[in-house]
Structures are given as structure tokens and as C-alpha cells.
Structure 1
Amino acid sequence: MPKTVFITGASTGIGYATAQLFHQKGWNVVATMRSPEKATSLAQLDNVLCLPLDVTNFSSIQPAVDAALERFAAIDVLVNNAGYGLLGAFEACTAEQIQRQFATNVFGLMEVTRAFLPHFRSRRSGVIVSIASIGGRIAFPLYSPYHSTKWAVEGFSDSLQYELEPFNIRVKLIEPGPIKTDFYTRSPEISQQPGLTAYDSFIAKVMPNMTKSGETGSPPEVTAAVIFQAATDGIQRLRYPAGGNAGMLLLLRKLLPDAMFAAIVRAATIGRSS
């Protein structure tokens, strides 16, 4: 009997590539997104169910879970993929922007996870795969709220794994490096404050380098393959680097002193080493 995966944020990028890959592997796929009527290519595939789900609208979560279970009877894997990046100087960020960033990347992810726990516990089986980032353990300029959310996802998942082990529920973190998706173009929300120009020269130095990292990053299919590996390897492993030199960067962050690694970040993003 085919297994079933439930994916949030499946309309584009990593979520879309993941839905395609699981389908190719013979799985049933529940592809959720804010506007499923736009998912014409996914909706045409056999054993793919496209459902509306906005992770910031908690009332939309349980109906999507219920509809998925009604169609496929059981869910084997949850992929928490929905997210976006708030970009810009922190001083220019509004309280509403920061709250929205956390609502999507952290609170929505937690609420979707909570909705699946009774089902996974009753089956004494399940895999929760959450898309974090190398930005959950490494920080770059102009992404402070985004990094804050990804560090939160890392801590949440690291703790949750111990609670769920007795129920044979595995928790996985995917840590992509730069990915060639619309994350750097369509996905980011840019913070701006009228009259605040103090950061303009800094932003002008950093932004071209950050954009270039996206243009030269790994395709989303690379991360989708790591997601599939994490979902199916059957081992109690938490973290999975994915593409974009993620493994090397995380290793350097682990081995190098803070000052030395910060110098590397400055050189790569600002163009100076100190």
C-alpha cells in the first residue's frame, strides 16, 4: 500500500519539487498551499491531493489534515516547508513584519506539527521533517528576523525529538544552503522605513552578494532528494545538510572560532575581512 506525505508550502520551490519527487517514488501526496487553484500541474497527477492551508490561519490547518486523512486514511510523513524571509536592516522592520515572520516560519510550523501528533501517536509511527536552513546555525547580515525563526525551528525540533521517541515518531531537520528558487526574488519581504537612510551603503554592498548566492545555489530538487532520504532512511538522525555547500559551511562554523568565522562571513557578504 503506498505511503502518504503531507507537505506545506507546496506551490513553488522546495515544496513543489518535494511533491513531484514523492509522487515519482510512488507515494500519495497531499500538497497544501494558500491558493491550491493555482496548482494546475500538481492537481493533474494521480494520487496527488491539493488542499488549501495557510499556516498563519490556524483554522485552516485541521480541515486540511482531516481532508487528507479522509482521502488516504493515514499520513506517514509531514514536511513542514512553508516559509519566507524578511530581509533588510532590523531597525527598519516593523513589529507587524517581525510578527508575521514568526507566525509563518515558527508558530505555523508548530501548529501544523501539533495537529499531526495525535495521528502519529495513535499509529506509533510517523516522521516530521521541518525545513530549517544553514541560517538556523549560521547568520548573515540583513536577515536577523529570518535567522531568529530558523534558530527557533532548530531548537524546537532538537527538543521535540526526545518527547516523541517513545512513540516511534522521528523528527528531522533539513538545512539547505543557498537554493536556486524564488526565495531571493519573490519570497522575501523587504523592510523599509521612510527617511531611514543610514543603512543604505551597507545594504548596497551586501545585497548583490546575497542575490548572487541564490543565483548560483543548488536547484530545489537537490533539497527534495535530501528530504526524501530523511523521510525514508528509518534512522534516528536529526540534521541533514542539503546542497549549496551546506555541509562544508556548517562544518566550518563548528570548527572555527567565532571571530574567524565572522571574518569569513564579512568577506563573503560585505567584501572585507575585518
Structure 2
Amino acid sequence: MTKVVLITGASSGIGRATAELFLDEEWTVYATARDTDDVADLAEHDGCHAQELDVTKPAQCKTVVDDVVETEGRLDCLVNNAGFGQIGALEDLPTRKLHRQFDVNVYGPHRLIRAALPHMREREDGTVVNVSSVSGRVSTPGMGAYSGSKFALEAMSDALRGEVEAFDIDVCVVEPGPVDTGFGERATAELDDIDATGVYDHVYSLYEDYVLVSGAGASDPSEVADCIVDAAVSPDPPARYPVGRAGRLGVLARFVPDRVRDKLFGLAAKFA
């Protein structure tokens, strides 16, 4: 029987590449986005269905999952990919901005997980793939809100993995480094309505330099999609999938002593 996957944030980048790869693997794909026009072309492929889904709406999250199960009789994999990056010095960020960051990147996956698990438990089979980031393991100046949301997603994934193991449900985290998706430009746009204090110019300069440098070593979205699909088809997937050279090296940076990392960031800021 054909397996079924539900993917959030499938309009572009990692989500779209993941939908396309699952289709290549002959899965039935439910590609979701806030605007179905953004995934309408995906729905032209046999086996792909476009669904409207805003992960900040609890009722819609449950309805979409229930509709998939009612139509297909199963949900084999949930890919929590929808997210965005809120950058900015923490003093500059209004709490409403921090709340929105967590609403999409943390509460959104939690809503989908709560909706999907009863169905997966009943079948005693399923995989939850949470798309995190190397920033979910190492935080840097100017990235506190985004890293905080990804740290939270990683912690929840670790807890969930132990909770659902008895039901033969796998939980995996995919941790890309920089990916060629326009993430940096969209994250920079989030600064437009922040009333910055003006005292953290060194932080924003450091971020701008990071965007310029990371672009040269960015992974293709298809590399991330490969890991997501591997997690879905593997009978015993690893808990974490670092993606790309920058992702693998960045994850290792968490073993560097805090004082050393702080000094390195300080030196980088001086030259930014």
C-alpha cells in the first residue's frame, strides 16, 4: 500500500524539494502552505494534494491531519518544516516578535504532532521529522529568538522520541547548516518593523557578514530533502541528521567551551 506523508511549509525551498522527492519515491504527498496557490503546481503531479495550512491555527492543524487519515486511511510520516527566522538583538525584539517566532517554529510542530500521534499510535507505526537547524545546537549573537525556537524543538524531539518508542514511532531531527533558500533575505526583512536601540550595530554587522559568507557554502534544498526521506523510509533512523559541511561542523561547535566561543564571537564582531 502506498505510504502517506504530510509536509508543512511546502511552498518553496526545503519543503518543496521534500515533496518532490517523496513523489519520486511514489508516496502520496499532502503538500501544505498558508496559500494553496503556492503549492498548486505540485498538486498537478499524480499522488500530490495541495492543502491550506497555517500552523498557528490549532483547529486547522487537527482538521488537516484528520482529513488526511480519513481520506487515505493512514499517515506514515509527518514533516514539520514550516518556519521562519527572526533575527535581532534580544533587547531590540518586542515580546510579540518572540512569541510569533515560537508560535510558528515550536507551537506549530507541537500542534501537528498532537494531531498525528493518535493515528500513528493506533497503527503502531509512523515517523515524525522535525526540521531544525545547526542554530538549534549553537546560538550566536543576533540569533537568540530563532535559536531559542530551534533549541526548544530539539528538546521536545528528544523527549518525544522516548515517549513514543513503545509505539514503534520514530522521531528524527534534521539539522541543516546554511541552505540556498533565501532564508537570510527573509530573516533580514523581519527587522523592518523593529525599533532598534542603535547600540547593537556590531551584532547586525556580524549577522550581515554571516549571511554573505554562508551563502558561498550553502547546501541545496535537495540535500536536506534526502535526509528527510531517508528518515521516513529507514526502519531504524538516527535521532539527528546534520546536513552539509557547515551543518556538521556547526553542530560540533557546541563542544567548544563557552568562554572560547564568546571570545571568538567578540573577535568576529570587532572585524565586522
TM-score, normalised to structure 2, is 0.93
Question: CA offset at residue 231 of structure 1?
Answer: 1.4
Give CA deviations for 1:159-196 in whole Å, capped at 9, x if unaligned: 11111011000110111111111211135522654462
Deviation string 1:221-249 (CA, Å, 9 cap, x unpaired) is 11000111111111152111012421222
Instruction: Kindly report the root-mean-square deviation, in angstroms, between the aligned alpha carbons of the 2 structures.
Output: 2.0
Cα distance per residue 1:75-125 (max 9 Å; x no partner): 101001011010111111111111100100001110110000110000000
- The change in CA–CA distance for 1:170 and 1:215 in structure 2 (over 3 A counts) is same
Contact 1:128–1:170 under 8 Å retained in 2: yes
Counterpart amino acid of 1:182? G
Residues 199, 252 of structure 1: CA spacing in aligned structure 2 closer, same or farther, 3 A cutoff? Answer: closer
Higher alpha-carbon deviation: 1-10 or 206-215: 206-215
Q: Percent identity?
A: 37
1:148 corresponds in structure 2 to 148
Deviation at 1:205, TM superposition (A): 4.0
Match of 1:93 in 2: 93
Residue 243 of structure 1: aligned partner: 244
Distance 2:222 2:265 in 1: 26
Equivalent position amino acid for 1:128 in 2: V
Mapped contact 1:130–1:172 kept (Cα < 8 A): yes
Where does residue 34 of structure 1 map in the other structure? 34
Judged with a 3 Å threshold, the aligned counterparts in structure 2 of structure 1 residues 257 and 75 are, in CA distance, closer, same or farther, namely: same
Residue of structure 2 in register with 1:128 after alignment = 128
Aligned residue in 1 for 2:269: 270
Structure 1 window deviating more from structure 2 (134-143 vs 243-252): it is: 243-252
2:165 is aligned to: 165
Q: Distance in 1 between matches of 2:238 and 2:19?
A: 22
Decide whether aligned partners of structure 1 residues 33 and 260 sit closer, same or farther in structure 2, where only a CA change above 3 A counts: same
Is 2:180 the counterpart of 1:180? yes
2:222 matched to which residue of 1?
221
Secondary structure of the equivalent of 1:26? Answer: coil
5+ residue gaps, structure 2: none
Query: Quick one: distance in 1 between partners of 2:149 and 2:74?
Result: 30
Cα distance change on mapping 1:104 and 1:46 into 2, 3 Å: same
Instruction: Give ranges in structure 1 of 5+ residues lacking alignment.
Output: none
Is 1:10 aligned with 2:23? no
Q: TM-score, normalised by structure 1?
A: 0.92
The 2-side partners of 1:266 and 1:127 are apart by 41
Shift of 1:64: 1.0
Whether the aligned pair in 2 keeps the contact of 1:172 and 1:239 (CA below 8 Å) is yes
Residue of structure 2 in register with 1:112 after alignment: 112
Instruction: Assess, with a 3 A threshold, how the Cα gap between structure 1 residues 48 and 5 changes in structure 2: closer, same or farther.
Output: same
Consecutive aligned runs of 4 or more in structure 1 exceeding 6 Å deviation: none
How many residue pairs get aligned? The number is 271
